[in-house]
């Protein structure tokens, strides 16, 4: 998978830092974006994080998103 034009190490570091900040501040509404970044990173550089750690992290983020949906009520993202 080739990187899009104008995407370099600095932009990847910026997105990684933003993702870390979202997780650290527990901003659940942005967890789907973090999940998307993690999956893109895994596809681009498969050996960066071991499979088990990647899956545990993704499952935990997905669980928090689902928990938030359940607490919001039957209508979802009101």
pLDDT tens digits in sequence order for the chain, 78 residues long:
455 566 688 888 999 999 999 999 999 999 999 999 999 999 988 999 999 999 999 999 999 999 998 887 665 554
Q: Residue 73: what pLDDT?
A: 65
| Cβ contacts of 30 within 8 Å, gap of 6 or more | 22
Number of DSSP helices (H) and strands (E) in the chain, helices first: 3, 0
Cα–Cα distance between 73 and 68 in angstroms, integer?
Answer: 9
pTM, two decimal places? 0.78
Give me 39's structure tokens: 């999956």
């Amino acid at each position: 998978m080739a990187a899009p034009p104008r995407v370099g190490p600095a932009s990847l570091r910026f997105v990684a830092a933003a993702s870390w900040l979202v997780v650290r501040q527990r901003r659940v509404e942005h967890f789907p974006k973090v999940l998307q970044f993690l999956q893109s990173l895994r596809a681009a550089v498969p050996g960066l994080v071991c499979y088990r750690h990647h899956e545990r992290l993704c499952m935990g983020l997905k669980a928090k998103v689902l928990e938030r949906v359940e607490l919001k009520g039957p209508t979802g993202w009101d």
